[in-house]
Amino acid sequence: MTDIKKKTRAILLTVCFILFQGLSACNTDGRDPGDTTLDHTDAVPLTSAPATPTPEPEFNVDTDNKLEVHFMDAGEGECTLVFTPDGKTLLVDGGTADFGQAVITFLRSRNVRKLDIVVSSHPDADRIGGLAALIKEFRIGRFFAPPVGNDIPEFSNMLAAMSDADLNQETANAGLEVPLGAQVQLKFLAPMSTGYDHLNDYSVMLQVIYGNTRILFTGDAESVSEKQVLSSGSSLASTVLKVGNNGASASTSQEFLTAVAPMYAVIFTKPGDEAVPSKILLDKLNQLKVKWYKTGECGIISFYSDGTNIELKTQKSPPKRT
């Protein structure tokens, strides 16, 4: 081996070591992020429930036979990527228009060429803005969205991209169940009506089910939709809750949160935004001892489940809480 090759290899190894050392736990309970009593990996047996964008960070996790759920660092928007144990892919929302390329980069780093299912929770700009670029870049198997439109450029751009790709929209309604590969099931819980007064209540509520693991997505659903789902008798119990409406007080009522009874809650926020989540929501989460995490503090928030146990990994550590 030449001296140049030796030096190059040494530099690469040093960079990899530094990056690995930089991965740390996301702490939400006031302890110092360096406190080893809260490890970066939070592995928990499922008992309470049935049971700055960059390419995916190296978390050194054995992903064989595991469901992967990556809540992206999407700034003001929301975007989540799901990989099943048998290699199927699900995208829930696409973030803002300027976030699409970051998702493409992430997916390319995973050698993804096709998105098997895409779900648009509702046509807000910060949820659908990045979808046009993704539809142009990847083959899409099935596309689900609620029965409502929006008079904004992002919605027009998404429809144009769908037309160019000859991609049809399937209506997401409560009661619909769709397999994602051989082992994962998608269960649509909302919307339950076509006559809401507010766009947020058209939001798709979706459970991703793998063994005893359940991940609940709620879009921006507010009290009207939440009450309908609660009254329907559908089981809301879930391991992880994607908190609705960026943690605003209009969503995630006490009754709804109690029915979900999550171990973990994920809140999409932009860095430094103290307006969300609301103190009302945080008080509810803390009262129920739910471990909550913000993308604005933690970057990409990832969960890995074998259907019985679940692991949490975060891209970066938040500031110490008081």
**CATH for 30:** 3.60.15.10
d(CA 49, CA 236): 9
Examine residue 81 and state whether it is found in any structural domain, yes or no. yes
Task: Report how far residue 60's alpha carbon sits from residue 214's, in angstroms, rounded to the nearest whole number.
Answer: 23
**Cis? peptide before 191, omega within 30° of 0:** yes
* Count of domains for the chain: 1
Q: At 275, is the secondary structure helix, strand, or coil?
A: coil
Backbone angles phi, psi at 3, to 5 degrees: -60, -40
| pLDDT at position 249 | 82
Distance (Å, rounded) from C-alpha 6 to C-alpha 112? Answer: 33
Burial label, 279 (beta-carbon count in 10 A; 0-12, 13-18, 19+): exposed
Please report the beta strands in the chain, taking only residues with DSSP state E, as ranges in sequence order.
Answer: 44-45, 67-71, 80-83, 89-92, 114-119, 139-145, 169-171, 177-180, 184-190, 205-210, 213-217, 240-242, 264-267, 291-294, 301-305, 309-314
Domain membership flag for residue 196: yes
The predicted-structure confidence for 202-217, as pLDDT tens digits, reads as follows: 999 999 999 999 999 9
Domain containing residue 106: 3-314
Q: For residue 209, what are the contacts with CB-CB under 8 A and spacing of at least 6?
A: 184, 185, 186, 187
| 87 in Cβ contact with 68 (< 8 Å) | no
For residue 184, list its beta bridge partners: 180
Measured CA angle at 80 (ends 158, 122), to 5 deg = 45
Structure tokens at 99: 């976030």
What is the secondary structure of 53-86 as a DSSP string?
Answer: --SPP------TT-EEEEE---TTS--EEEE-TT
Burial of residue 9 (CB within 10 Å: 0-12, 13-18, 19+) is exposed
Is 0.75 surpassed by the pTM of this model? yes
> Domain for residue 320, yes or no?
no
**Rg of the Cα trace of the chain?**
19
Kindly list the averaged pLDDT for each block of 10 residues, start to end, along the chain of length 322.
44 38 43 34 44 47 85 91 97 95 94 97 96 97 97 98 98 97 97 94 98 97 95 97 86 95 94 80 94 93 97 82 56
Contact (Cβ atoms closer than 8 angstroms) between residue 74 and residue 295: yes
- For 92, the token pair is 């829930």
Q: Which pLDDT does position 233 carry in this prediction?
A: 94
The reply to whether 85 falls in a domain is yes
Phi, psi of 95 (to 5 degrees): 70, -170
Would you call 120 helix, strand, or coil by DSSP?
coil
- The reported pLDDT for the residue numbered 61 is 62
Sheet containing strand 205-210, edge to edge, reads 177-180, 184-190, 205-210, 213-217, 240-242, 264-267, 291-294
Determine how many CB atoms are found less than 10 A away from the CB of residue 92. 26
User: Is 27 a domain residue?
Assistant: yes
